[in-house]
Structure 1
Amino acid sequence: MQTQDSSISATKTQDTPTYGDVVAIYSPCNRTYDPHDNIIINASSNTLGGGNVICTATYTIDNGPAHTLRTESIQMYSWDPFFHHYLQGVGKLPKLPAGQHKLTVYMKSEIQYATTKELFLEGETTVYFSIGDTKPPNITLCEIDGEVFNQNSVPLNFTINEAASWLGYSLDNSTQITITANTTLTIPVGNHTLTVYANDTYGNMGQSEMAHFTVLINPTESPTYDVALVAYAILVIAGASAVFVVFKRKQNRNH
């Protein structure tokens, strides 16, 4: 069985019969593992030859240095002078950081005759897998908390410590609104709160500290008034003044 998304290369000698030259990795598989998992390496190959079989197996992680795997050679069946061996390499991966990783397992079988040793099987397989992330992204708001803006356009700038599959913000604890990057918001006059949210590529949701800020009318701008409302106010004031004058005249006549 060959692991999905792995590549196999095998080198054969011309003088030695070779029938089982496939190196297979059964674990890890091409999937995402929990960071708390203990990941076991399990790889094998089948060989056919004569004499004693000497098997070595190593692995590299992310193109790093080679590490030795424990090997077992099991004689499945035999007929003189040949026999079938099932070669297995087993080990345990160290703790790895979150992200994608590359594991390559190399196995070699040599036939030990009475006075000579010949290369019988040599091959490797590479598999790609990922370690998941359980930490939420860290989001920091920039230049907004405690600020007073004299305009309705408020810059929403923030930083995030990892890639995000979704971004959004909430103004005054309202429904979250999706954004794709830093942006500018149009916000009404008043006191407000703002929180930015992000979902990383592993499904962890994070949020920033809540920012508090104020939007005021620009003091250099003259206030605008509704013309009809101003006219109505003038009429009311004029009417009240006329009533007051008539009332005062009546008072003077009575005296």
Structure 2
Amino acid sequence: MSKKLIPFLIVILLISLFLSTSHFPVVDAAENSWMTKKSMSTVRGGLGVAVVNGKIYAIGGSNDDTQLDITEEYNPATDTWTTKSPMPTARSGFAIAVYQSKIYCIGGTTGDSGFTGVTEVYDPASDKWQTKLSMPTPRADLCASVVDGKIYCIGGKKYWGIDSFYQELNVTEVYDPTKNSWTSKAAIPVPVLGAASAVLDGEIYVIGGSRHFQLGSELATVSSNQVYTPENDTWSTRANLPTEESYGAAVATSGVTAPTRIYFIGGINGSDYNTVTYAYDSGSDVWSAGASMLTPRMYLGLAVVDDVLYAIGGINGDKWLNVNEQYMPLGYGTVPPELHVLSPENKTYTSNDIQLVLSVNRPTTWMGYSLDGQDNVSITGDTELSDVSEGLHSITVYVNDTFGNIVSSGNVSFSVDTFSPQIVILSPENKTYGRSDLQSVFTVNEPVSWMGYSLDSEDNVTVTGNVTLAVLADGSHNIKFYAIDLVGNTGASRTVYFEIAPFPTVLFVAVAVTITITVASAYLILKRRKSATIQT
């Protein structure tokens, strides 16, 4: 990068910090901090929360022993709520998941009628609901996660025996939305109800929850972190939560604008309603604590949009809540953007005009490139590199995101070759040959992928080098050689014209010419003598 550009980049950096709020409406909050946003219209806990196309949908739940069918849509960009079509079956404690921009609500409790396995699907685009095949095991307070197009419903609770007591479950059932079918998978090792789940790198983390350590015992809260790998249908364990928590909520950040982490928020431990914010780093298998949530609660919904968390609803003791609190994760805005140069590639181009095509995973305030170490050129997106000279080149692209992070693509090397290969024919030459077999000899000035020749304007004949032109017919001929270089440029030689007149034809012609010359000479001599006699 040119030293002349350093002051310019500093100015760009300062401007980008100033303009960053115009790209992300939530960056007015500091990382690892909470703030209050507009509340839902309905107080409720045990609701399901899901994100489709940047909008959050709060569905169902309960308040004061009343099961709800309410669907509300929250737009983080405008901080507004809108009421949508109600869920067909009023319920709480159900599992919720998103597949192909549709929201699946599975199982739950319907109040006095007990637990259900009903599967209902909401399409935000049409604001309509559909009923699908019910889950085989009716249950509530389970968790659901999507991996590779399948919805994994894990744990939960059901009534045990004939008494009105419930028992935690170790059930893992998988729903295939494309086939509308259910299958069973490996049971979770420690059965839990009221656990939270999140997906990271294709694995499902089932965190916390409650269980009875023996039949009839009091319900106990656990801190377990059980991990399911769908690829091989196995379970493993990772570092436990710092504290035992149940009926909290979990999501994973994507790593785009905040480091990739699993966040566990809220919950209950014994009789304490919590404000905990825990962040899990799968790389180090370590939990860390973030800033406490503003409102202590359990049975809440948690959503993540553009790596910003929204904790919605829940219950705090006897009080059902409609609060909506926003959390900026640890390290928010510190993750550099991902920049990829899709074109040019590390190859040779046969045109002097080359497309510069970039991929950046989030908004920017400035982009530019340096070609062959020259001064940076500012661009607004993909562009064309015009009139690039022949030979080797390198390009480096720079991006400044809305948080002031500047990244470089690194050098991308490429070359330009628009010249056709040059072919020189050494043999045959423009002359007459007295034999019918001729050795062709030609040279090419660069490596090629194909060579060939055309004799007497016939179809091309592929060759790998010099060849013998065998059994050529008597008479006139012409030959032309072609070659294609390694990048597709086609070259052609000049056309060589030659004759084939083999013995005895050559001898006959020579004798005939000699006789003709002799006769002509004798005639001229005799004519001169006769003229001299007449004059005398």
- Normalized against structure 1, the TM-score is what? 0.48
Structure with greater strand percent: 1
- Which structure: larger Rg? 2
Instruction: Tell me the TM-score normalized by structure 2.
Output: 0.26
User: Of the two structures, which has the highest relative contact order with CA contacts closer than 8 Å and spacing of 6 or more?
Assistant: 1
